[in-house]
Amino acid sequence: MLEKQLQVELLNTIRKSAQTGDIQEMFEAKEEFKQNWINPPAPGVLNEIETITSKKQEEYSSKELTDLANRGMSYMRAKDYQNAKKCYESWAAVAGRVGVKQGDSYWARIEPLYLWLQKYENDSKVKEFADMQLFALRKALLEVVLDGKCAQRIAELERMYAEAESAGAKIPKDLQGLFDSTINRMDEYRKKQELFVLAGLFAGGIILLLAFLIWMVARSR
């Protein structure tokens, strides 16, 4: 008798919560119906519960999907990536639960947000890569050593500069100035080293020539 009374109360709770829109209360009552009864509810009662809850679940999910899509689009227009992404993830969770597929009316509402999030994330990755290229270039410029490998280092720095530009990086003014001054300094050092080498070769040639002349004079005596 007590079981029958509880079943009636639960059924009435489901009916009432379906009318008032209290989805949580409705599903809590439905869960209680899943217990092991000594005298199970009649099939007609179980069918009624399934019909009521399925219909309300569909209505609730539809409203939830619409609300989340609208909120997500508002965040997109405000360029609020974090909140827009949260809305999309919540929308995707509900959509997965109720079987929404790409191409239906629910998807059409959220698709602009989905595409915007993808573009934003792709642009962010491109910017991150460009920033890494700039960081590497700046680090290399600050660690330059003036030695006999200046020609190779100039070529390497010019390659890094070109890679940063091809990655879409906008070279900051201070980095451009550092690049130009460093390349000029290294090029001047390289030219001086070449002059020293030429001067050494020239001096060596003069010494050899003098030695040869002295030898010739000595021999003629």
Residues 66, 144 share a domain: no
Count of domains for the chain? 2
Question: Mean pLDDT lowest for which of 74-88, 93-107, 109-123, 202-216?
Answer: 202-216
Residues 83, 11 share a domain: yes
Residues 11, 79 share a domain: yes
Flag whether 119 is in a domain.
Answer: no
Flag whether 114 is in a domain.
Answer: no
Residues 210, 148 share a domain: yes
SS3 content of the chain, % helix, strand, coil (to 5): 85, 0, 15
For 36-47, what is each residue's pLDDT tens digit?
777 777 788 777
Closest C-alpha to 34, from 53, 15, 18, 17: 53
For 158-190, what is each residue's pLDDT tens digit?
999 999 988 888 899 999 999 999 989 888 887
Flag whether 155 is in a domain.
Answer: yes
Flag whether 134 is in a domain.
Answer: yes
Distance (Å, whole) CA 158 – CA 189: 17
Flag whether 81 is in a domain.
Answer: yes
Find the domain containing 33 and state its range: 2-100
213 pLDDT exceeds 60? no
Q: Are 29 and 10 in contact (CB under 8 A)?
A: yes
Flag whether 112 is in a domain.
Answer: no
Q: Are 52 and 15 in contact (CB under 8 A)?
A: yes
Contacts of 57 (CB under 8 A, 6+ apart): 23, 98
Residues 79, 27 share a domain: yes
31-58 per-residue burial string, b: 16 or more CB within 10 A, e: under 16:
eebeeeeeeebeeebeeebeebbeebbe
Flag whether 55 is in a domain.
Answer: yes
Distance (Å, whole) CA 82 – CA 70: 15
Instruction: State the chain's mean pLDDT as an integer.
Output: 81
pLDDT at residue 119, as a whole number? 93
Flag whether 8 is in a domain.
Answer: yes
Residues 79, 145 share a domain: no
Distance (Å, whole) CA 53 – CA 112: 32
Tokens 């080293």 — which residue? 193
